[in-house]
Amino acid sequence: MDAYGDPGLGLLGDPTRRAIFELLARQPCSVGELATRLPISRPAVSQHLRVLKDGGLVVSRAEGTRRVHQLNPDGVTALRAYLDRVWEDALTAFQKAADNAGSEQEKQ
């Protein structure tokens, strides 16, 4: 699931999976509901959901005769923690670069 420390971000590199992820962020949906909102077939939606589920970003539950899919809070939390960590590292590097540039200017 997390090659190179990536907790699911690679799964969202595919535009269709990203669209499914965004739709599920708004509300839980069945395969049929997702297929009506996307330009792909129900079997294609099911395949993308399987990838997202295997990656830990989506869970499903039985609701009568259909399965309803929704974002997995644990997977989304891991993804957010990863992005927060990357962002914090970027800000730290920027701060160091700014400090170094400032001290170089003072020397001149």
Mention every residue, 6+ apart, whose C-beta is less than 8 A from residue 45: 20, 31, 34, 35, 38
What per-residue confidence (pLDDT) applies to 103? 73
Is 1's pLDDT higher than 60?
Answer: no
This prediction has a pTM of 0.80
Using 50, 70 and 90 to split pLDDT, how confident is the model at 5? Answer: low
In whole angstroms, give the CA distance from residue 4 to residue 7. 9
CATH code for residues 3-107 = 1.10.10.10
What residues pair up with 59 in beta bridges, in sequence order? 70
pLDDT, one tens digit per residue, over 11-30 is: 999 999 999 999 999 999 99
- Whether 89 contacts 57, CB under 8 Å: no
Give tens-digit pLDDT for 70-81: 999 999 999 999
